[in-house]
Amino acid sequence: MTSIHVGILVYDYQAIDVVGPIDLLQSANSGFLEVSKIFGPINDDAISRAPDFVFHHVGITKEPFHLFTSALTLIPTTSVDECPDLDIILLGGPNPEGFKLHPKYIDFIRRHASAGKLLFTVCTGSAVLASTGLLDGKNATINHAGYKWAKENYPAVNWTKEKNGSPTKISGLELVLLREWIWLHIGSRRNSDWRFLHMLPAIWITSLEALMVSQL
């Protein structure tokens, strides 16, 4: 079983941007697949090769943090100073107007990227990544309503609707694409250990499509 450590930075993001991807990844864990055989063609071989996603909610401190747009209070599981090595950082989308990323987060993201690790942004999360300078000179996209704002505030980024390799940015909450993204960017690096992703029951994808529509 392969452990994949995913870190979610705790700032004032919209909860659906993070909960959707986490729900999909957690649904791919071997334990969840084991109890989900009744929903689709999941065999023991696929389960034996499934990874173990481990999620870390990374705060500046471990103090509870209130998400204003989602009326939720999060309790970070770790802090930037104590966080273990991550394979993926997920950046949810905040209201970009007036948003300032903490300097410790900026350093944390830059160190992660310099190590060649994966970054995944959702919706206006690309503006968060842009604030680190890592998107300067690169193509990136953002929620369609934020294109003009992004161009004005981060002119060094080539804001576009076209994809441009890694990091991967998705405009809006296109969670249906996440399964294919995982396979293309992670599965192929791990010698087909992730083929089981193509066996995920269609009911999960249908549920995620419903979430996606609400954000388009």
CATH number of the domain enclosing 199: 3.40.50.880
Query: What are the 10-residue block averages of pLDDT along the chain, 216 residues in total?
Result: 89 91 85 80 79 94 91 95 95 90 97 91 91 92 86 93 52 44 49 45 37 32
83-116 as b/e, with b when 16 or more CB fall inside 10 Å? beebbbbbbbbbebeeeebeebbbebbeebbeee
pLDDT at 137: 92
State the CB neighbour count (10 A cutoff) for residue 177: 13
Q: Are 78 and 62 in contact (CB under 8 A)?
A: yes
Domain count, the chain: 1
Residues in the chain: 216
pLDDT at 165: 52
- Cα dist from 24 to 17, 127, 132, whole Å: 12, 23, 27
What angle do helix axes 15-26 and 202-213 make, rounded to 10 degrees?
A: 170
Distance CA 137, CA 216 (A): 27
Residues 6 or more apart whose Cβ sits within 8 Å of residue 158: 137, 138, 139, 140, 164
What angle do helix axes 15-26 and 178-185 make, rounded to 10 degrees?
A: 60
DSSP state of 94: B
pLDDT at 162: 61
Q: Are 121 and 141 in contact (CB under 8 A)?
A: no
Structural domain containing residue 7: 3-213
pLDDT at 106: 97
